[in-house]
Structure 1
Amino acid sequence: MSTDVLICGAGRTPFGRSEADGRQLAVGAVNAALADAGIEWPRVRAAFGGSDSAGLADTLVAQLGLTGLPFVNVKNGCATGGSALVSAVNAIRSGMADVVLAVGFDKHPRGAFDPRPEDWGLGQEYGTDGLMVTTQFFGMKIQRYLHDHGITPRTLALVAEKAYRNGALTPDAWRREPLAAAEILASGMVSDPLTRYMYCSPGAGAAALILCSPDVARTLEGPSVTLRSAAVRTRRFGSFEVFSPWIPGGELTSVSRDASAAAFDEAGVEPGDIDVCQLQDTDSGAEVMHLAECGFCEDGEQGWLIASGATEIGGALPVNTDGGCIANGEPIGASGLRQVYEVVQQLRGRAGERQVPGEPRIGFTHVYGAPGVSACTVLSR
């Protein structure tokens, strides 16, 4: 079905540590999105959302209003927000509703994400051998990638340096102090080759979007952004994933390649058409790998591409203009929708000091998460 879907409202909370609980943050983000759209809560006809550890999204109606709307809980790892968005898009395209909410939120304790292997049908040794704690998995994965493609750890430091520099320009980001590449490299090894300041941190935050049909958008005063595609894919055999009980040899597959290709195909554009981009950067290595996996360069080209400044706000392909996960932290349920929020602001020309020059017209977002799922969108103004 070709029904256009527009984003008419976008809201987020500050990310980081918060005295508020996850539900309170979610309500704040939803109310901000409603205000941005100029729509009252009773006008929303359906809602989709979720968190990883902060409760059920459908219970938010106790604060938002008991209007009887269908509210579906979504939980899909780091792709929770992206999956909620896909569900909201399909609700409009199917004719189920003409105004739909997508919301993601979370609040995590300090420390690394460390799921219990037994919850996934794996033996306890899977954690002790270093494949379950996320910091260890990320280190192993990027170590192999650097080896295979001749990229140095300095590239990882430059990615983080950019993230903190952009975070300093983002009022709602958590990490707002610029750090130099040398300081990042010297910050202490966590899981070789990733140092302390190359990782994001679990935190708290929420983001929400109000989607609408073209008929509704024409009645609103504010500028809408067209959501040209939204795609979710899961891993295929041969992919190297945090919950996959093997390390494949030879050529690896990538769920991000599948999801991004599907999003570009549905939108009728190519990676070279993108003016501003958000890529999952749970660690510096993730952004490096996802540049190639999403089609923006070939494997091994990231070293010179990043060193050239191409991924900076004023570069040919601005990536993670709000500082990404590294500067914002990662409340799992909210990350994917934070990315879309940022691209919406960029396409509207409302990103302040971090605004991409030249009036960007097409944006792209990408999330990747355990146990091997990716969600991608293409947006345009």
Structure 2
Amino acid sequence: MNDVAIIGVGLHPFGRFGAKSAIEMAADAIQLALADSGAQWKDIQFGIGGSYEVDNTDAVTRLVGLTGIPFTNVFNACATSASAIEQTADGIRSGKYDIGIAVGTDKHPRGAFTADPAMLGLPAWYAENGQFVTTQFFGMKISRYIRDHNISVETLAKVAAKNYRNGGLNEKAFRRKPISEDEILGAQMLNYPLTHYMFCAPDEGAAAVIMCRGDIAKRFTSNPVYLRSTAIRTRTYGAYEVHATWAAIDEDVSPTVYASRAAYEQAGIGPEDVNVMQLQDTDAGAEVIHMAENGFCADGDQEKLIAEGATEIGGSMPVNTDGGLIANGEPIGASGIRQVHELVLQLRGQAGDRQVPGKPKVGYAQVYGAPGTAAASILSL
């Protein structure tokens, strides 16, 4: 099986960009990834792309070059980009292709994610009572978690404040103004225990990553980063996740748990080997939960770790060094590749003011998408 190297990453800034289309942003991200990789568009043999708002991400070829490459559109909610990454890597590992690109883009209006539940075969009341990827669901989930594991609301504010600080160091983030813990706690309560500033925002942006066979990576770049694994898993019975038929909550059956275990097994490492991580933080509570679900601590240990600064850029387990979803917002299709973009910069030592000290060698990315699809990826030098 062929090793897969990441040779180039490109990130269009996240935020709001007026009349600029999602496809135009995707084209910019591709051009940035090409410049970063040393490859040219004519070298790319295939593409995988995804978006929530754009049905045919392949239309980006109209802007970057009609070379006739096969291009597959994918969608897996917040796990869309991770799915594109996995499919691109698998195409290379299989020996079918030598070099390909994964791209994600989206352009969301302001407000919560409240798409039509009918497209999922669900009754209208499911969205109306707040159980479709809106603030109510996330509030219910973390409310139970902090009660069961003795975690304070102040810890949620610390998570959000950390991500805003990190976003202030990221020139491509949507929210770049640090917000204090007191201001976060005092903000409008949306759904207890989550206040306004504890949530990410739907926004706009695009990201791209170019991958190739590991044995040819040095033709393009002197500092490749290797994609060691990507694993995607869906719900099992016993997990009440975003929108599905009712089942009792049990943290151990979260799809994130199974995706992370599979990713570690594929990569041949454990969570103790990871130096920098990107965890889905749709809200501050999600980051807390995902610390445990991905094996970085036990349930309930987050309170002490966060208080001690373990998840800060200079801490023992830096999380969301670019500000995560809370600072960057979430254009759904681009979110997972944005995580990989940050990890590649960190492993190369190119993250500037937010660079993790000590030359990190292993990075970890996790996303979670409705209706219960989780993905975990591991990168290393």
State how far apart, in whole Å, the 1-side matches of 2:132 and 2:152 are.
25
Instruction: Provide the rounded CA distance (Å) in 1 between the counterparts of 2:149 and 2:244.
Output: 23
Q: What CA deviation, in whole Å up to 9, does each residue of 1:118-159 have, x standing for no partner?
A: 222222222233312521111111111111111111111000
1:323-349: per-residue Cα shift (whole Å, max 9, x none)? 000000000000000000000000000
Aligned mates of 1:23, 1:50 — CA distance in 2: 11
Q: What is the root-mean-square deviation of aligned Cα atoms in Å?
A: 1.1
**Distance in 2 between the 1:25 and 1:301 partners?**
40
Aligned length: 380
- Tell me the SS of whatever aligns to 1:233: strand
Aligned to 2:205: 205
Unaligned runs of 5+ in 1: none
Contact kept, 8 Å, 2:52 with 2:332, in 1: the verdict is: yes
Secondary structure, aligned partner of 1:13: strand
- Aligned residue type for 1:371: P
CA distance change for structure 1 residues 80 and 352 in 2, over 3 Å: closer, same or farther?
same
- In structure 2, C-alpha distance between the alignment counterparts of 1:218 and 1:127, rounded to whole Å: 50
Q: Residue 188 of structure 1 corresponds to which residue in structure 2?
A: 188
Q: Spell out the pairing of 1:37-116 with structure 2 (5 A cutoff).
A: 37-116=37-116
The aligned amino acid for 1:370 is A
Cα drift, residue 249 of structure 1: 4.8
Against the structure 1 CA distance between its residues 358 and 42, is the aligned structure 2 distance closer, same or farther, given a 3 Å change threshold? same
Q: Is the 8 A contact 1:22 1:55 kept in 2?
A: no
- The offset of 1:247, in angstroms, is 4.4
Deviations 1:76-113 (A, max 9, x none): 10000000000000000011111110001100000000
SS of match in other structure, 1:83: helix
Matched to 1:61, the amino acid is T
User: What residue is the counterpart of 2:26 in the other structure?
Assistant: 26
Residue 250 (structure 1) shift: 5.7
Q: What one-letter code is carried by the residue in structure 2 that aligns with 1:148?
A: D
- TM norm structure 2: 0.98
Task: Report how far residue 223 of structure 1 moved.
Answer: 1.1
Residue 183 (structure 1) shift: 0.5
Q: Do 2:188 and 2:196's aligned partners in 1 also have CA atoms closer than 8 Å?
A: yes
| Match of residue 230 from structure 2 | 230
1:11 matched to 2:6: no
Q: Contact (CA 8 Å) 2:92, 2:212: kept in 1 or not?
A: yes
> Which amino acid in the other structure matches residue 148 of structure 2?
D
1:350 maps to 350
3-state SS of 1:346 partner: helix
SS in 2 for 1:333: helix
**In 2 relative to 1, CA 337–250 (structure 1 residues): closer, same or farther, beyond 3 Å?**
closer
The residue type paired with residue 11 of structure 2 is R
Segment drifting more, 160-169 vs 215-224? 215-224
Aligned to 1:287: 287
Equivalent position of 1:179 in the other structure: 179
Contact persistence 2:92–2:213 (CA under 8 A): yes
- 1:368 alignment partner in structure 2: 368
Distance of 2:247 and 2:327 partners within structure 1: 30
Asked if the contact 2:205/2:331 (under 8 Å) is kept, the reply is yes
Deviations 1:32-84 (A, max 9, x none): 00110011101000110110003411111111111111100011100000000
The residue correspondences of 1:85-164 to structure 2 (distance < 5 A) are: 85-164=85-164
- Corresponding letter in the other structure for 2:234: T
Normalising by structure 1, we get a TM-score of 0.98
For residue 183 of structure 1, what is the amino acid of its counterpart?
A: E
- Which amino acid is the alignment partner of residue 202 of structure 2? P
Contact 2:218 2:224 survives alignment (8 Å): no
Distance in 1 (alpha carbons) for counterparts of 2:239 and 2:306: 25
2:298 is the alignment partner of 1:298: yes
The correspondence of residues 230-379 of structure 1 with structure 2, limited to 5 A, is 230-249=230-249, 253-379=253-379
C-alpha distance in 1 between matches for 2:219 and 2:310:
39
Identity %: 53
